[in-house]
Amino acid sequence: MRRALVLLATMSESDTIESVLGEVTEATGQLSRLDWSFRVLVVDDGGSGEFHELCRRLGTAFGLELDVVDGPRAGLGGAVLHGFAAALEDPSVDYVINLDADGQHDARQMGDLLRAHIARGAGITIGSRWTRGGRCYGLSPARRVLSRASAVALHLAGVPRHVKDPTTSFRVYGRGVVEAIRRDITGFSGFSFFGAAIAVAHSRGYEVIETPIIFRPRLGGRSNLRTVQVARAVRDLPEIASVAAMVRRRQRDFLAAGHGAAGPDEYNAARELEVLSATPVSTGIILDELLPHIGADVLEVGAGLGLVTERLVAAGRRVTALEPDPSLHARIGQRAGGATVLNATLATSGLTGTFDTVLYVNVLEHIEDDTGELVRARGMLRDGGNVVIFVPAMPSLYGTMDAVSGHHRRYRRRELSSVIRSAGLRTVSVRSFDAVGIVPYWLAYRVVRRRVLGGAAVGVYDRIIIPLSRAVSRVTGRRGPGKNLIAVGSSAA
């Protein structure tokens, strides 16, 4: 038996939910005769208890297997990602069917999307207004032009050109594509989310197809589209393009560098860390940026050779340093004699929550499930403690050094903030660092495609680039882009 999750992201749309669930019932009833089963999940960002109760009553009346949950209130993209997570928690779910809860999508066409999806072996199947055979009623001329123009813009950002309706939400996703794309599209919302999902899936090698639907006039409620959402979608186009390109380069170079699909199995950081150990100026400047957020008792995850550990001890902090690489672990104690050093990851350390700060300096990008890692970090904190993070930024910079170093990503500001919130932490701040280093890094690892760190280049970075970046950040008030991000998440409510 095949099983699908029907996902409805709502803002307590009481006027339309009954008719939508009625059509879902018709569609699932027909498909159940073909050995299909369905679960309906309503993710509600409206927070209305009355709406939740209405959904439950309707689910019972229609004979649906239905759950209604509070959404994360992180926009439409956040609500859909919440549904994706629920689908992946259920090993019996093979497909996710997403549609609007306002009645403009006809849920009775779910079967058409599923048939096309299975027949073509697609990763994503889009219910399209603009493909041949599709029809659209009730959209103003301005909205039609906006939809068409959005498609053209998204083609430039990595959406394949054969996709004519990349902003619509009526879709079937295979379980595999949900697993593959959901992390990389974290932080996108609205129109941007749906365009980013297609661009990333395409970069991962999944086929994206369209099948015609009838898009209907709204008979109840009101449109949630606002001018500000259109402006945000335009703003996000460069980010969609940079993430899609990063994924393509990662697919090509990360695996070619000898890393397994789930992590950097063969990467040995010792050589790069040896070179970076000769960076006293930049290490000191970075730590100066972090120290105001670091408490007395510190858990440092991924301590490497102990450069940061040594300086934390010198600054009077009580440090427990974790390093899973045995060859590196043995050397931390020699450099930072006052620290407690464990040969472990956070997951294997056996530690309990007694720390003021959990610190990640150039570590989180190596961890595929960074949200899960930060959930564990939150469990290590005393009430009101901080997770302090220093990571590479700007997906457009992802190059050969990122690949050979085992970086799963370079972070976007909103992405990192979203990951912090998803881990149950409050985002205190996310800001850029090292504006001056952007162009040299791009030239070295995107243009020249160097695969090793050179001692001379690292010396220039240490003595010239980072001090210049600090001076620039003081002038600009730490606004603008940077090669890295510094983030603080708090366990305080």
pLDDT in tens, the chain (493 residues): 999 999 999 999 999 999 999 999 999 999 999 999 999 999 999 988 999 999 999 999 999 999 999 999 888 999 999 999 999 999 999 999 999 999 999 999 999 999 999 999 999 999 999 999 999 998 888 888 888 999 999 999 999 999 999 999 999 999 999 999 999 999 998 889 999 999 999 999 999 999 999 999 877 666 666 566 677 788 899 999 999 999 999 998 876 655 544 343 444 566 566 556 667 788 899 999 999 999 999 999 999 989 999 999 999 999 999 999 888 888 888 888 889 999 999 999 999 878 999 999 999 999 999 999 999 999 999 999 999 999 999 999 999 999 988 899 999 999 999 999 999 999 999 999 999 999 999 999 999 988 877 667 778 888 889 899 989 888 887 788 999 999 999 998 7
Give the count of beta carbons closer than 10 Å to the beta carbon of residue 189.
23
CB 236 within 8 A of CB 154: no
Q: Is 108 exposed, middle or buried (0-12, 13-18, 19+ CB in 10 A)?
A: middle
Angular region, 423: left φ>0, alpha ψ -120 to 50, beta rest: alpha
> Number of folded domains in the chain?
2
Residues 20 and 165 in one domain: yes
Q: Is residue 333 part of a domain?
A: yes
List residues bridging with 321 in a β-sheet: 300, 341
Euclidean distance between CA atoms 207 and 123, whole angstroms: 5
Residues 212 and 304 in one domain: no
The whole domain housing 131 covers: 2-251
Residues 246 and 286 in one domain: no
Number of residues that this document lists for the chain:
493
Euclidean distance between CA atoms 44 and 73, whole angstroms: 8
Residues 241 and 265 in one domain: no
Residues 238 and 322 in one domain: no
Residues 247 and 265 in one domain: no
Final residue of a structural domain among 251, 276, 298? 251
Residues 46 and 125 in one domain: yes
**Model's pTM, two decimal places?**
0.91
Tokens describing residue 83: 């549904």
Q: Is residue 199 part of a domain?
A: yes
CA angle 394, 400, 406 (to 5 degrees): 80
Q: Is residue 176 part of a domain?
A: yes
Residues 241 and 274 in one domain: no
CATH of residue 476: 3.40.50.150
Residues 126 and 154 in one domain: yes
Q: Is residue 189 part of a domain?
A: yes
Euclidean distance between CA atoms 489 and 423, whole angstroms: 9
Q: What is the pairing mode between strands 36-44 and 95-100?
A: unpaired
Q: Is residue 351 part of a domain?
A: yes
Euclidean distance between CA atoms 84 and 146, whole angstroms: 28
Residues 409 and 441 in one domain: yes
Q: Is residue 256 part of a domain?
A: no
Residues 191 and 78 in one domain: yes
Final residue of a structural domain among 192, 220, 251? 251
Q: Is residue 331 part of a domain?
A: yes
Residues 36 and 137 in one domain: yes
CATH of residue 56: 3.90.550.10
Task: Name residues whose C-beta falls within 8 Å of residue 94's C-beta, 6 or more positions apart in sequence.
Answer: 2, 3, 4, 174, 175
Q: Is residue 30 part of a domain?
A: yes
Final residue of a structural domain among 228, 251, 274? 251
